[in-house]
C-alpha cells in the first residue's frame, strides 16, 4: 500500500496501544490507511507483546506517517495510555483500540467536528458495535446506554457540566476508543492510577468537572469491537470490575458534590 507523496503536517495523531491478536491490529492499521483524509499520523505503541512481528510488519508498509515504538517491558494499560498522550504532537488525538476499526470517514468527521465547534474538547462520533467476526452486534447494555441513558437530540449536540456528568455516572455511554480529543485538554488531565477498568470514564469525568465540552456527532464512522477477550469482559467475569467501579464512583461522587452538582452526586451513589 503506497501512500500519496505529500499529506502535509498531521492534523490528528491516531495512537494505538498494542497487546493482542495480530490479525486485529492489521485490520486497525489498514483502516487508518484507508481514511478519506490523509493528514494523520499513526503510532503503534507495543506494550512488549511476546511476538515481535508488529515492528517488521509496520516498517514493511513503507508509510512515513506510521511509527512503531516498543516498551522494553509490559507496563499495562494506564502507563501505555499516558505514554500515548506524551508522544502525541498533533492538535487532535485519539487513543484507538488495537482491535477496533476506523471507518473511512473517521478522521474527516472528527476534524470537521472540531473545526465547526472550536469550543469543544472532545468529539464522540457515531459508532457501530461489532463482534469477533466484524459483524454488527449489540448487547442489552449497549441498547440501554444508547437509547435510554445517552442524552438524545436529532442531530449534533454539545454537552457540558452537570447534565453530561449525570448521564455518564448513570451509565458510561461513550465509546472510548472512538473519542477524539484536543491534545491540550488531554495533556492537563492525567489518567488516574488504580482504576484500570474505568480509566476512560475517570478521565472524562475529570475533564467535565474542569469545564470540558463534548460534541456528539451522529455520523457513524467507527467500529468498536466487543469480544470475550477484552479487559472489561474478563474483569466482569471475575468480579474485579464491580469492586473497581464501586471505589471509583465513591470518588466521583465526592468530586461532583464538591461542585454543587447534587444530581450528579446522586447518580454516582446509585450506580
Q: What is the pLDDT of residues 193-251, one digit of tens each?
A: 889 889 999 999 999 999 999 999 999 999 999 876 555 444 444 555 666 788 999 99
- Using DSSP bridges, classify how beta strands 40-46 and 66-70 pair: parallel, antiparallel or unpaired: parallel
Q: pLDDT tens digits, residue range 27-76? A: 999 999 999 999 999 999 999 999 999 999 999 999 999 999 999 999 99
Contact between residue 43 and residue 213 where contact means Cβ atoms under 8 Å apart: no
Contact between residue 100 and residue 28 where contact means Cβ atoms under 8 Å apart: yes
Three-class SS state of 231: helix
Domain 12-270 has CATH 3.90.550.10: yes
Contact between residue 45 and residue 87 where contact means Cβ atoms under 8 Å apart: yes
Cell, residue 219:
455520523
Give the number of residues written for the chain. 271
Phi-psi bin for 96: left (phi > 0), alpha (psi -120 to 50), beta? beta
Cell, residue 51:
511476538
The percent of residues above 70 in pLDDT, for the chain, comes to 92
**CA–CA gap between residue 95 and residue 119 (Å, rounded):** 21
Q: Specify the pLDDT at position 141.
A: 84
Q: Specify the pLDDT at position 230.
A: 55
Higher model confidence: residue 189 or residue 3? 189
Three-class SS state of 33: helix
Residue 149 pLDDT exceeds 70: yes
Residue 4 pLDDT exceeds 60: no
* No. of helices (H) and no. of strands (E), the chain: 11, 9
**Of the candidates 143, 139, 129, which has an alpha carbon nearest to the alpha carbon of residue 100?**
129
Amino acid at each position: 500500500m503506497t501512500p500519496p507523496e505529500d499529506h502535509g503536517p498531521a492534523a490528528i495523531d491516531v495512537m494505538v496501544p498494542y497487546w493482542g491478536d495480530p490479525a486485529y491490529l492489521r485490520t486497525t492499521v489498514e483502516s487508518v490507511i484507508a481514511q478519506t483524509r490523509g493528514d494523520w499520523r499513526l503510532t503503534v505503541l507495543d506494550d512488549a507483546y511476546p511476538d515481535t512481528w508488529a515492528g517488521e510488519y509496520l516498517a514493511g508498509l513503507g508509510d512515513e506517517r506510521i511509527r512503531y515504538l516498543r516498551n522494553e517491558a509490559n507496563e499495562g494499560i494506564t502507563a501505555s495510555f499516558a505514554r500515548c498522550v506524551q508522544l502525541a504532537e498533533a492538535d487532535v488525538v485519539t487513543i484507538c483500540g488495537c482491535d477496533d476499526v476506523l471507518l473511512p470517514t473517521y478522521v474527516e468527521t472528527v476534524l470537521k467536528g472540531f473545526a465547526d465547534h472550536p469550543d469543544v474538547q472532545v468529539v464522540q462520533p457515531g459508532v457501530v458495535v461489532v463482534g469477533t467476526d466484524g459483524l454488527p452486534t449489540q448487547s442489552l447494555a449497549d441498547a440501554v446506554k444508547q437509547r435510554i441513558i445517552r442524552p438524545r437530540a436529532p442531530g449534533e449536540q454539545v454537552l457540558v457540566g452537570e447534565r453530561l456528568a449525570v448521564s455518564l455516572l448513570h451509565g458510561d455511554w461513550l465509546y472510548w476508543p472512538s473519542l477524539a480529543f484536543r491534545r491540550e485538554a488531554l495533556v492537563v488531565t492525567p489518567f488516574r492510577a488504580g482504576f484500570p477498568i474505568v480509566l476512560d470514564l475517570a478521565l472524562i469525568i475529570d475533564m467535565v468537572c474542569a469545564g470540558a465540552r463534548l460534541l456528539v456527532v451522529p455520523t457513524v464512522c467507527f467500529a468498536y469491537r466487543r469480544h470475550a477477550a477484552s479487559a472489561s469482559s474478563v474483569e466482569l467475569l471475575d468480579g474485579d470490575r464491580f469492586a473497581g467501579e464501586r471505589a471509583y464512583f465513591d470518588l466521583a461522587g465526592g468530586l461532583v458534590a464538591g461542585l454543587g452538582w447534587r444530581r450528579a452526586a446522586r447518580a454516582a451513589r446509585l450506580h
